[in-house]
Structure 1
């Protein structure tokens, strides 16, 4: 009969395929997937730590900034690849993991399993642009039209979005041609790392029938290799020094340079005379020249007594004149290097070890020297009185800096450093006063 001879119609195949790893026991698959996700998240956190100085710096408000999606800053921030060439290898290894592991998960498991990995790139590594391109790559590798017999060819083709992202956003800005080309080196190496990891995983998986566990094993290997190279060639002490100390030399701080206050003072005098209220309530003089002299005198008194601008003049004070706020901020930055805070998740003995190693760092005398010099800067009142010029002097030791100079002089680990010579001179001048 015709009805019996007719073939049963086949169900249409789904557009997104299921990988071979999901054919194994569900508990084993879930365990391996969770391990891979955890190690991948650690990779993203380590990336953030090396590139930004903090383990997590995600900011929702910064997502709309045009330069936020750029990757080139990673090559120049902190331990720049131009000063520390080993950073090319470290960044390449970490980026290689982030570029290929979600794609492998989408191919060997399913498109849905890649979700946690993309969230880690977006939030933990703080790379929303790269996460967007990764999404396209994962979708492509899980799609049936690109499900080739050769899985490595599919991986190579589907990593094209990553290459596009690196080409568009990976180069450093405002550098010469050679440096521009060199800034792309970490991402070229990242592609090689990603393809190598994918090739090994797929080659081993071909003989083990893609059993769960291959992805997290090779993720761990690559992550440990990156961490070992970074710690051996650069180190977290040097990283924190570059972030918190090297870029905050007091001699380069705008707030401690000369600034004229003449225009702001003249404008305040004009307003006082015109409104006829400030001069009557606050000052005795009503004529321009005496009033100006009286105002300047009160500015000098407040700066000398409290190191603050008068309240009636505060609205005219420019940002670069607020040296006291900058001094406080600089001291906090130096403190981040000298006494790093303990994260909530870090064991106490690990943090104690970090503090012990940090105190013995060869960069510590420089941080102490900068901190002492910041405390030494005082406004030159004579220069303000004569020329309406806000300037600073640091010729005489201040009481706030004496304990720091004493540390540089007396602590054995620091007293042979070049900075200790300055400390001895400062202490000698203090004793001679």
Structure 2
């Protein structure tokens, strides 16, 4: 009897540990089409993330995969377009990261984990976030596991985003900032979690009534991406992004290569270098150290007046300013060529003209063995840029500097009346600008005492209050001489 009962009991196959989602029950061709659309929308989201971080749509570097900076997500909040200067960037980063953090998990739950692999690879290689891709892989595997297939798909997704939350919590803080800024640097990732849950809730909520037909994921991904792009363009702008990447962070006055540097150590290495000694011996240089040093310094002065080091000089990295100057010119030209109508053009032209004015002080080489740059004398090589700044952006604060330099040039040519008129205009404009600066300083000081003190708008000009005061002195001095 027992044997007969056993024979009648049907044998059931063991259920697999990894499950298949409800969307795969529909027509395979339609599922594949919607999945490809989701991959495309997600890939564009990854590329847009790269764009707002680096200025380029794809910057993945295979050699830098193990770099610690790829793990530190917090720097994304303060580099490029900083959230403390552009608060709308919190929402932009939040919506983008919300897409990156939830869409692969949705695909894994509604289809299967293998369908989420292209999304994870896109995060690693297109968005240049390989570390975050690891947390996504864990989430996608977890949400497709049978033990985590709850009756409520939303609760399952919320629980399976734990790896992303752990990543945001551990690596999401900015480094090297004040404690209050460190706390605020997590706001984009909090926003990302909320946006991700909102996307998941809408997809799963609508999907519950449509029996999880394919198409919802790519539609909501595209909708959120489009909203993100619109918010970024309207509230921040791609011209402002380029300004921050190519101009604002490249103020020549803050570039270390153009600060004062001693050449004593490099000169000592040069004099004691056997190859250099052998080379100099063929040109009848003095053999004694003191006369040799004096002669070499004179040669350095001659060569630096032509903006180069002697071929025998063993220059340290901090003294190789020529390469840095060329790189800065390339950055300015990138912005100028792309954003000719940007309101930031005067600053780019000002920095470019100022950098072209920078000249080594050859007297400091002889007197103090120091590389020092000066830029208070208008040279012919930069005159065209100053004229462009004055002609095309005559109402900008940077044009005040252009007026002074042009007036100095005209005075040297004997055009005293024209120079005096230009100086009078500059003095009037400086007075108005100084009053505006003073009022803004009061407003900023009042805001700094509040909780939102770290959030300050970016400077609208390169002309600080100190520069305006110094320029006022130069204008008065030149006008008195005229």
Q: TM-score, normalised by structure 2?
A: 0.82
* 1:118-142 deviation per Cα after TM superposition (whole angstroms, max 9, x unaligned): 0110001111111000001000111
2:270–2:276 contact (8 Å) kept in structure 1: no
Aligned residue for 2:65, secondary structure, equals: helix
Within 5 Å, give how 1:417-432 maps onto structure 2: 417-432=396-411
Within 5 Å, give how 1:133-152 maps onto structure 2: 133-152=135-154
User: Who is 1:299 aligned against?
Assistant: 300
User: Who is 2:448 aligned against?
Assistant: none
User: Who is 1:332 aligned against?
Assistant: 330
Instruction: Give how far 1:364 is off.
Output: 0.6
Q: 1:378 aligns with which of 341, 354, 359?
A: 359
User: Who is 2:286 aligned against?
Assistant: 285
- RMSD of aligned alpha carbons: 1.8
- Partners in 1 of 2:327 and 2:396 — Cα distance? 26
2:276–2:312 contact (8 Å) kept in structure 1: no
* 1:251-282 deviation per Cα after TM superposition (whole angstroms, max 9, x unaligned): 1111111112123224433446x996344213
1:379–1:393 contact (8 Å) kept in structure 2: yes
User: Residue 28 in 1 paired to residue 9 in 2?
Assistant: no
Unpaired runs of 5+ in structure 1? 341-357
* 1:129-171 deviation per Cα after TM superposition (whole angstroms, max 9, x unaligned): 1100000100011111111111001101111111111111111
TM-aligned CA distance change 1:271 to 1:57, over 3 Å = closer
Within 5 Å, give how 1:123-272 maps onto structure 2: 123-271=125-273
1:279–1:286 contact (8 Å) kept in structure 2: no
Q: What is the count of residue pairs matched by the alignment? A: 410
TM-aligned CA distance change 1:21 to 1:339, over 3 Å = same
- Partners in 1 of 2:323 and 2:385 — Cα distance? 20
* 1:8-35 deviation per Cα after TM superposition (whole angstroms, max 9, x unaligned): 4112221111111111111111111011
* 1:213-259 deviation per Cα after TM superposition (whole angstroms, max 9, x unaligned): 00011111111111111111111111111111111111111111111
Instruction: Give how far 1:2 is off.
Output: 3.4
- Partners in 2 of 1:287 and 1:131 — Cα distance? 64
2:266–2:316 contact (8 Å) kept in structure 1: no
- Partners in 2 of 1:13 and 1:419 — Cα distance? 72
TM-aligned CA distance change 1:83 to 1:276, over 3 Å = closer
- Partners in 1 of 2:300 and 2:131 — Cα distance? 50
- Partners in 2 of 1:203 and 1:188 — Cα distance? 22
Worse overlay, 420-429 or 77-86: 420-429
- Partners in 2 of 1:37 and 1:147 — Cα distance? 24
- Partners in 1 of 2:134 and 2:55 — Cα distance? 24
Unpaired runs of 5+ in structure 2? 413-482
* 1:262-315 deviation per Cα after TM superposition (whole angstroms, max 9, x unaligned): 23224433446x99634421333222222222111111111123x1111111xx
Instruction: Give how far 1:210 is off.
Output: 0.6
TM-aligned CA distance change 1:430 to 1:39, over 3 Å = same
- Partners in 2 of 1:416 and 1:200 — Cα distance? 50
TM-aligned CA distance change 1:17 to 1:309, over 3 Å = same
Q: Which stretches of structure 1, 4 residues or more, deviate above 6 A after TM superposition?
A: none
User: Who is 2:436 aligned against?
Assistant: none
User: Who is 1:102 aligned against?
Assistant: 104
- Partners in 2 of 1:193 and 1:381 — Cα distance? 59
* 1:81-130 deviation per Cα after TM superposition (whole angstroms, max 9, x unaligned): 11111111111110011111000000111111001100110001111111
Q: TM-score, normalised by structure 1?
A: 0.91
User: Residue 367 in 1 paired to residue 369 in 2?
Assistant: no
- Partners in 2 of 1:409 and 1:178 — Cα distance? 41
